[in-house]
Chain A
Amino acid sequence: MIEILVGSFLVFMIIGALIALETADLLSSVISVGAVGAAMSICFLLVGAPDIAITQMVVEILSLVILIRATIRRDLTTIDGDREFFGLMATLAMIFVFLVLGFYVFPRLPEFGTPSMLQSSQSPAQYYLRNGLKETGAANIVTAVILDYRGYDTLGEATVLFTSILGALAILRVYSRKKKSHDGKK
């Protein structure tokens, strides 16, 4: 049942992504990207990951608002110009390579829905599930993993966000320092 639902949402997402790529109007392109994100969030919810579903939903909403705000006020809301021949050829070549490799790889993957991390009793996932509540005291095992067992990774993520905001503020600030003093002299 879940396979059919997730599969139909995947088809919906592929259609939405194709519309986002092919349409000429930037605003409707952004909106169909939002539809893809909403379907993605429902998919996460169906396969049992509510944490990721919440994060996906709110990030999608915020990024959609930012994208709409960024596209709607600019003069260029449409794309003109033809598709490049080289780009089309590169896309077709990539699809061909992916299909050939997928033909060999996909039969070796575990079946859909089989938890591959639960195969052996020594795997980290088993350890977290057995000892997570006892060792960290957090009822939400996802939070226990990302903030306790894998806190170092989360610190790296926070550093990436912090550095990118720092760079954006430094480049896009309102006044440059030199100009301000120049205006002051005037």
Chain B
Amino acid sequence: MTEKNKTAGMSLIVKTVTRWLKGFIFLYGVYIVLYGHLSPGGGFAGGVIIASTFVLLTLSFGKEYSLGKLGKLLASELDSLGALLFLLVAVSGIIWGGIFFLNFIEKIAPSKHFHLFSAGVIPLCNIAIGMKVGASLFMVFIILAVIRVREVNGKRKLITTEKRRTKT
């Protein structure tokens, strides 16, 4: 860590509390995603909680730290992978049952109700949506955190902080 990264972000109190809490918040998001078919919640809400973990990291430690944990390329890949997984589940309904979005696992091998591994493809869909929503909302935050409006020669211009850093 360079001297600049140490001063980035908020105060020591915020950093310490974030260091304690980040794992619990992330775990709660994963719980909401995995138990979406048993208790209130689901892929979207859990994905937003996972994204808010990384937003908290960005706010308290600065952009470089959170991008080191979840890079922009990795987030983009997770986003696309979630969308593809969701589509794959939908299309495999056609392959095994002839109907788009058929719950084919439940049709072939019915599971015990109220168990974690039940409800066929619904947990898979929840995981896919959770990945997609978490990664994409984190990317929205990163994009909005990078862009700044600056006055250049009397004109308003969009300037990214990364570009400014490479110039100096």
**Which residues in A have some Cβ–Cβ distance to B below 8 Å?**
50-51, 53-55, 58-59, 61-62, 65-66, 69-70, 73-75, 133, 135-140, 142-144, 146-148, 151-152, 154-155, 158-159, 161-162, 165, 168-169, 172, 174-175
A65 close to B55 (CB less than 8 A): yes
Nearest B-chain residue to A73, judged by Cβ:
B148
A138 close to B118 (CB less than 8 A): yes
A35 → chain B, closest Cβ, in Å? 18
Number of interface residues, chain B, beta carbon within 8 A: 58
B100 close to A152 (CB less than 8 A): yes
B45 close to A58 (CB less than 8 A): yes
Q: Give the 9 A-B residue pairs with the shortest CB-CB distance, closest first.
A: A151-B101, A50-B40, A138-B119, A138-B37, A137-B119, A58-B48, A165-B136, A55-B45, A147-B125
B70 within 8 A of partner (CB): no
B42 close to A146 (CB less than 8 A): yes
- A61 partner residues in chain B, CB cutoff 8 A: 52
Nearest A-chain residue to B36, judged by Cβ:
A143
User: Known: A50-B40, A162-B136. Contact between A139 and B143, CB under 8 A?
Assistant: no
Nearest A-chain residue to B143, judged by Cβ:
A172
B49 within 8 A of partner (CB): yes
A162 → chain B, closest Cβ, in Å? 5
B101 close to A148 (CB less than 8 A): yes
- A65 partner residues in chain B, CB cutoff 8 A: 52, 55, 59, 141
- B90 partner residues in chain A, CB cutoff 8 A: 151, 155
Report 23 cross-chain contacts, Cβ distance below 8 Å, ordered by A residue.
Answer: A54-B45, A58-B48, A59-B48, A62-B137, A65-B52, A66-B55, A70-B144, A74-B148, A137-B113, A137-B119, A137-B120, A137-B122, A140-B37, A140-B42, A142-B42, A143-B122, A147-B122, A154-B129, A155-B101, A158-B132, A162-B132, A165-B139, A174-B160
A-B contact count (CB 8 A): 147
B87 within 8 A of partner (CB): yes
List 10 additional A-B contacts (Cβ < 8 Å) besides A55-B48, A70-B144.
Answer: A51-B41, A65-B141, A137-B111, A140-B40, A142-B42, A143-B126, A147-B43, A148-B101, A148-B121, A151-B125
A169 close to B32 (CB less than 8 A): no
A147 to B100, CA, bound (A): 12
Q: Of A137, A151, A174, which is in contact with the most chain B CB atoms at under 10 Å from its CB?
A: A137
A137 close to B52 (CB less than 8 A): no
A142 to B119, CA, bound (A): 13
B146 → chain A, closest Cβ, in Å? 7
A148 close to B103 (CB less than 8 A): yes
- A58 partner residues in chain B, CB cutoff 8 A: 45, 48-49, 52
